[in-house]
Amino acid sequence: MLVIIYRILWILQNGGHIDPSYNKAVVYKNKSKAIYNINIHETELIVDFVVNDKVIFTFVDILNDGYNWNYFTRVIKNNIKNKEITYKFIDGKVIFKSVKKMSNLYRK
């Protein structure tokens, strides 16, 4: 629960608005058309970076060890470059990184 409170405080400090259910939030980027749509879950945080109603990239933070935010995985899906990058963090340091590129050559 404390983790969720910290997330909510960060959102409010950065000019965001939180849904009364505390499950969704929006952060508006200063002097920009970009916004962050945030879905808040107990052990997961899903963030869409949106410009002009188009999702540019999405990242998901997933706890790997209960409620310990010192050990988590971040998956970034770049919708423009068609690639997905996964990072594993321990104590704020990247211990693992993988890049998966999706092909645009899919044919029926």
Cα torsion through 49, 84, 44, 24, rounded to 10? 20
In a domain? residue 25: yes
Q: What is the pLDDT along the chain (108 residues), one digit of tens a residue?
A: 455 666 667 777 777 777 777 788 888 877 888 999 999 888 888 999 999 999 999 999 998 887 777 889 999 999 888 889 999 999 889 999 999 987 765 544
Question: In which domain, by residue range, is 66 found?
Answer: 2-101
Rounded to whole angstroms, the Cα distance separating 88 from 64 reads 9
8 A C-beta contact, residue 62 and residue 44: yes
In a domain? residue 106: no
**The token pair that represents 56 in the structure block:** 């540019």
In a domain? residue 41: yes
Count: domains in the chain: 1
In a domain? residue 107: no
In a domain? residue 108: no
